[in-house]
Amino acid sequence: MKSFKRLVALLAVIMLVISLAACGNGTKSTVGQDTGGSKESGGEASGTTDGADAAGDGLVVVGFSQVGAESDWRTANTESMKATFVEGNGYQLIFDDAQQKQENQIKAVRNFIQQDVDYIVIAPVTETGWDTVLQEAKEAGIPVIIVDRMIDVSDDSLFTAWVGSNFLQEGYNAVEWLADYLESKGRADEQINIVTLQGTIGSSAQIGRTDGFAEKMAAYPNWTMLEKQTGEFTQSRGQEVMESFLKSYDDIDVVIAENDNMAFGAIDAIKAAGKTCGPDGDIIIVSFDAVAAAFDAMIAGDMNVSIECNPLHGPRVAEIIQKLEAGETVDKLQYVDEGVFPAETAAEIKPTRAY
């Protein structure tokens, strides 16, 4: 892909030189000058804003549209990408923070296409609404790699590969852990009342975790889901929703928080209401992501378990790009390895964690 683009660029330069020679010395060349183009987007940009310049330096130019910075997990995901796609590894990264808005991501992708990057990487806000802009990328001959959340498109050829978590399995893992935990506490036959702090509605993580939990929960008729409401994957919104739950229900046994940051907000709300949570508390906290702060919360006795969602996608995406550069085929779907981390193992495991 990159070699072809360079060949086209070289031919274009040759034709331009011939054209300028024919016009005589009175014509001033604009080759290499700033033509006024800019990369406007929903957020921060890092690296070159000119894919052609980087290609001329022998670098593989990667445009990355990130959802935003809504959580500790997202920060770790961004840092993994930035640490991987550096000049020392043969890359030039153009980074864009979409600030949780899909329209910003679509605008960023179009800017990447205009800059003729070698690869486009997207961590999508939601699953739908990508067909048109990805068709534009396909027509421009730029491979698209999706990370973290999946997309729902009419034609799977609009993206080359996806790297991320099996969110449905994460939901299964949460049910399996909760069932075993209740059994160990002698509560397997009790009435268990549950509330869920959902992530951004329509995102793959929200859909998978919600559906996975609901599917496996059906095997436990004594479990009741009192209510589900989105906390938008943020701590502040998670706290607000948990405050509402506590006002509506006085018999909550379990909180399912679809990411750690919402769990932190829920813990604050529970404590403010005069209740307790964690292994020795009134309310069981089941969370997702397993970021460093979640281990701190478990060590402090505030959280029971965090289901891992591995954010370190940079190396896997780089591996895909290197295979594509070598003309090799890649698997369409590539899952990262993940585990389940209960509170009793948190102190031992945390020093071994990379995020």
Q: What is the pLDDT of residue 53?
A: 57
For residue 193, the cross-strand partners are 224
End-to-end, the C-alpha distance of the chain in Å comes to: 34
Burial class (CB in 10 A: 0-12, 13-18, 19+), 328: exposed
Q: Are the CB atoms for 199 and 258 separated by under 8 Å? A: yes
The pLDDT score that the predictor gives to residue 201 is 95
The tokens 């999706």 sit on which residue? 146
pLDDT value at residue 18: 37
**pLDDT at position 23:** 36
Tell me the CATH number for domain 40-163+311-336.
3.40.50.2300
Q: Which CATH superfamily is domain 167-309 in?
A: Response regulator (3.40.50.2300)
Work out the angle at residue 217's Cα, subtended by the Cα atoms of residues 170 and 254, and round it to the nearest 5 degrees: 80
pLDDT at 354: 85
Query: By C-alpha distance, which of 336, 354, 343, 345 is closest to 169?
Result: 336
When pLDDT is averaged across residues 314-327 and rounded to a whole number, the result is: 97
Instruction: Report the alpha-carbon distance of residue 241 to residue 233 in Å, rounded.
Output: 11
User: In 10 A of CB 84, how many CB atoms?
Assistant: 20
pLDDT digits (tens, 9 = 90+) for 116-164: 999 999 999 999 999 999 999 999 999 999 999 899 999 999 999 999 9
Per the prediction, the chain carries an average pLDDT of 88
Domain span(s) for CATH 3.40.50.2300 in the chain? 40-163+311-336, 167-309
